[in-house]
Amino acid sequence: MEHIFAPWRIEYIRMEKKDGCIFCELPAENDDENNLILYRGKYAFVIMNNYPYNPGHVMVAPFRHVGDFDSLTAEEIKEIHQLVSLMIRAIKRAMNPDGFNIGLNIGRVAGAGVEHHIHVHIVPRWNGDTNFMPVISDTKVIPQALKETYHELKTVIGKLTSP
């Protein structure tokens, strides 16, 4: 039997679940690289998923603590969509995916892990990126370290957003 090690997952498994909100707390720490925050707009920001479904899995969230899509302001909605577009362009340049899953999980029943702060998931997909591992061994193989992905995306975002 072969073994695939994913040592970064143990941190998530052992993590004490907090009552706070990562989408409020992490931007307030002003430690973007350690918190995997890729970009800050006026109303919203982009953060990498620390426990991704695929390499390059990012989320776009408003700075304001809002759990309901209907409570977003027009400015927040506009900037969130602009950041989704920016991230699609950046991920395409940096990682060359074949497609994307993009969406919101609103409410716990819909799969929201952080249900009181709305956020958009952007998950790049590649032909053949699904295989037997999740089905047979409940294991997802992420072939690139988060910090390496962070630096690649950060570089591309800088080029896309500089005048």
The string of pLDDT tens digits covering residues 147-157 is 889 999 999 99
Instruction: Say if CB 94 and CB 77 are below 8 A apart.
Output: no
Q: Taking the complete model, does pTM exceed 0.85, yes or no? A: no
Q: Catalytic site residues? A: 119
First to last CA, the chain: 53
Q: How far apart are CA 42 and CA 25, in angstroms?
A: 17
Mean of pLDDT over the chain: 83
- pLDDT for 147: 86
What the block records as the tokens of 9 is: 């997952």
The string of pLDDT tens digits covering residues 83-119 is 999 999 999 999 999 999 999 887 777 666 777 899 9
Percentage of the chain beyond pLDDT 70 is 77
Domains located in the chain, CATH noted: 19-158 (3.30.428.10)
